[in-house]
Chain A
Amino acid sequence: MSLVQMSVRDEPVAVTEKPGRKPGFGRHSRLVFGLVVPVVLALGWEILVRLGLANGRLVPPPSVIFATFAELARSGELQRHILVTTSRVAAGFAIGTITGTLLGAISGYSALTRRLFDPTLQALRAIPSIAWVPLFILWFGIFEGSKITLISVGVFFPVYLGVMGAVMSVDRKLVEVGRAFRLSPVAMVRRILLPAVLPAYVIALRSGLGLGWMFVVAAELLGASEGLGFLLVDGQQLGKPAQIVAAIVAFAIIGKISDWIIVLATAPLLRWEDRFSAERVAD
């Protein structure tokens, strides 16, 4: 989640803050520089295995991982597993986001609801979510139901907390502007509260999605016949470490892409933000 985001945020600071820096050592050079360590390690391992100095069976060299990845993709296996895993995350993310947003908004808005529900929810949050798995399997069966419930629970809490905090911290002074212009309750939500909580909401969604990916792995490790998590277990049981690494790489790629989608989709709505990095660019 953070590699690209970090390089994007750091870059203007470096360029504007250090005018004495040599021209050409900009964004691309920095990206290349950051790749030095992983590339050297990968190439080194590849060479060691090729020269027969190391046995690559448990830690497969990059060429083997790439070949496994390509083979899985060519047979359509990879796409099928990705599709299954992604649909589980999508369903769980949707359920967790909707319930988290609604309950978070109500708890943030009404102190009574907050006093009533928040202690219970905070107590539930303290339970490591994986501990629910046996119960969910008893309740919702071994198939999709229990998996999607587990993912929903994982997504729910960061979204709930983020939305509640955001609503509670909306600037009273801006709400007062809405009152001075006689906004109806609906208009107040639409024209003041929603835009005001949006930046925090996007962050809540991104951490919710991150947890969604985490929990889909947990759910699939605990029993699945398809999905990237199944590829992990399958690779372990059949002694195919390259398949495990290929599945991990697939997780990293689609996790990053899904995070990007949220960032890109909401960026036009957040252009107004008076952010630290935006300010630096303006200077």
Chain B
Amino acid sequence: MLTLENVSKTYPNGVHALEKISLEVKPGEVIVIVGGSGCGKSTLLRAISGLDTPSRGRVVLDGVEIKLPQEQIGIIFQEPRLLPWLSVADNVGFGLDNRPRAERRERVAEALARVGLSDKADVWPRELSGGQAQRVAIARALVPRPQVLLLDEPFSALDAFTRTDLQDHLLYLWADTRPTLILVTHDVEEAIVLADRIFVMRPRPGQIFEEIPADLPRPRDRQSAAFDFVKRRVLAALDRSLARDARIDDRKTDAETGAAMWW
């Protein structure tokens, strides 16, 4: 169980990035955080990963407070961030340095097979396409078998076709060991394809504005009416989250009133 207790973050330069964020995430749950740019999504993810520490509040994983990066928490960034001087296989095995060589080789080969890049094991990262590089980054994060996997707009730099392909691929990989996924995105469709619950954030300071359940059956049909319904609801929430204060009280939208009847 991953818990955020009143997490706030103010940067040394005075930017108030997060204000009292509280969340409870069950093991194996897929949480997607959406919000306009500058709403503190990435800051929140970095606080959970231990790369940054909150100014106030705490992040707790299974009763242990997280202050530094942990082995149980993996992170995937917006860019693949592969180390250019290591082969693809060595990149995937980067987090397994303390394991015996035979085990490392076996787990790397298995992970590469699962992301469909076995034939690229010995090439340099520069020879991969953007989508392939991001798949290697996913394999690298999953190989140490983390309990929680954080993804910071992982597919935003890819073209639409590669993006949908990788979203499906991520779900396929997730289904294996079912880690908790927390994904940050500004792509609403991506949020609905992946999430069990969607959190819409609003900026200045970053706060959770609305929680929207997205418990559609998997695999999800991007064309279905239910999908479309959740999409409109998220879009409406996003719209309101970015609106000026005068409009924030006006929370009843068509989507809201119809929330109970979408099926």
Contact surface of A with B, Cβ cutoff 8 Å:
173-174, 176-177, 179-182, 187, 191-192, 195-196, 198, 271-274, 278-279, 282
Given A173-B77, A180-B51, A181-B95, decide whether A195 and B69 contact each other with a Cβ distance below 8 A. no
Contacts of B77 in A (CB 8 A): 173, 176-177
B94 at interface by CB-CB < 8 Å? yes
Contacts of A272 in B (CB 8 A): 84-86, 124-126
Contacts of B85 in A (CB 8 A): 195-196, 198, 272
- A273 to B70 Cα, complex, angstroms: 31
B71 at interface by CB-CB < 8 Å? yes
Closest residue of B by beta carbon distance from A273: B84
Number of A-B contacts (CB under 8 A): 48
User: In the assembled complex, how far is the CB of residue A119 from the closest CB belonging to chain B, in whole angstroms?
Assistant: 26
Q: Are A174 and B71 in contact (CB under 8 A)?
A: no
Q: Which of B81, B124, B125 contacts A177 (CB 8 A)?
A: B81
Q: Are B51 and A177 in contact (CB under 8 A)?
A: no
Closest residue of B by beta carbon distance from A183: B97
- A123 to B256 Cα, complex, angstroms: 69
Contact surface of B with A, Cβ cutoff 8 Å:
49, 51, 68-71, 74-75, 77, 79, 81, 83-86, 94-95, 97, 124-127
Closest residue of B by beta carbon distance from A173: B81
- A22 to B93 Cα, complex, angstroms: 47
Q: Are B124 and A180 in contact (CB under 8 A)?
A: no
- A259 to B85 Cα, complex, angstroms: 23
User: In the assembled complex, how far is the CB of residue A172 from the closest CB belonging to chain B, in whole angstroms?
Assistant: 10
Contacts of B86 in A (CB 8 A): 272
Contacts of A274 in B (CB 8 A): 84, 124, 126
Q: Are A181 and B68 in contact (CB under 8 A)?
A: no
- Sort A-B residue pairs by CB-CB distance and give the 10 closest, nearest first: A274-B126, A195-B85, A272-B85, A181-B95, A272-B124, A177-B81, A180-B69, A180-B75, A182-B69, A272-B84
User: In the assembled complex, how far is the CB of residue A212 from the closest CB belonging to chain B, in whole angstroms?
Assistant: 28
User: In the assembled complex, how far is the CB of residue A177 from the closest CB belonging to chain B, in whole angstroms?
Assistant: 5
Kindly list 17 other residue pairs between chains A and B, CB separation below 8 angstroms, not including A182-B69, A195-B83: A173-B81, A174-B81, A177-B94, A179-B69, A180-B49, A180-B69, A180-B74, A181-B94, A181-B95, A182-B68, A191-B83, A191-B97, A192-B83, A271-B124, A272-B84, A274-B84, A278-B126
Given A173-B79, A195-B85, decide whether A181 and B69 contact each other with a Cβ distance below 8 A. yes
- A282 to B71 Cα, complex, angstroms: 37
Contacts of A179 in B (CB 8 A): 51, 69
Q: Are B124 and A282 in contact (CB under 8 A)?
A: no
Contacts of A282 in B (CB 8 A): 127
